Structure 1
């Protein structure tokens, strides 16, 4: 997924940890929102901050490690979803649809926790391999 120029030197999980610890610029968050259609109210819930605080960030100001980690998790999820569904639009449609395997909840409802994102990654794997619950 585009929009993460600071990820160009990320080759493995150890590199991701370094990026998380040093923080990701708010500009990367803005790019993720533009690419995925995640709204400001949704992202503030996901990264656990207020709309007002988020607006005060300069584009180059770095998010804290917890927020940076969540941003990387989202980027990886949306990148994987785009790969599995063949397009970002297809994945976004799935994210906004009730899914039987998720107790008829929308996948977007699980973005506020790491376990929820892991569940969605697992579900994408099942979809990719034709396993539907």
Structure 2
């Protein structure tokens, strides 16, 4: 690309994807709790299946969340509060693939909400409020399923581009 030339939509998407992956990985403790941030969705997929994300990644994510309550968080992630407490002692143990996947998707959703609303605090506040575009549900409640997470992500994209319908 020539200096001063506008990025193509594909280049813009790729750059945004890299930033989303980087910020999501940072929320999970990349470089501290696990080795490095995956550079593509395929790498995320492989890392999840390879057991690259320990419980410490989940604990790091949760320790940075201040405005959402534990019950909502554990429901969204599909893990009991009791299991979560037990894993604090085994933070280096690899998460099962389904939990690692939900944890990564939660981090991605929080990252996207932070981008849309301008701060982590505003993103968490939004996740806890009922949203007309989600049939009056709170975004945090929608994260209990892959389909609900996709709906929330799509809604965030519509908010980002001022397309509400």
TM-score, structure 2 normalization: 0.73
Q: Distance in 2 between matches of 1:103 and 1:10?
A: 34
CA contact (8 A) 2:76 2:141 kept: no
Q: Deviations over 1:60-115 (max 9, x none)?
A: 11110000000010011111111111101111111111111111111111011111
Aligned to 1:4: 29
- Residues 1:25 and 2:54 are matched in the alignment: yes
* Aligned mates of 1:52, 1:77 — CA distance in 2: 25
Kindly state the Cα deviation for residue 9 of structure 1 after the two structures are TM-superposed. Answer: 4.1
Tell me how far apart the structure 2 counterparts of residues 9 and 126 of structure 1 sit (CA, whole Å).
27
User: Structure 1 runs of 4+ off > 3 angstroms?
Assistant: 37-40
1:65 correspondence with 2:67: no
SS of residue matched to 1:45: helix
| Structure with larger Rg | 2
- Structure 1, 91-100 or 29-38: larger mean CA deviation: 29-38
TM-score when normalising by structure 1: 0.89
Structure 2, unaligned stretches of length 5 or more?
1-22
Which runs of 5 or more structure 1 residues have no equivalent in the other structure? none
**1:53 matches 2:83:** yes
Is contact 1:33-1:39 (8 Å) kept? no
Give the SS at the match of 1:29: helix
Alignment of 1:1-133 (within 5 A): 1=23, 2=26, 3-5=28-30, 6=34, 8-23=36-51, 24-37=53-66, 38-57=68-87, 58-133=90-165
Q: RMSD of the TM alignment (CA)?
A: 1.7
**1:50 CA displacement:** 2.3
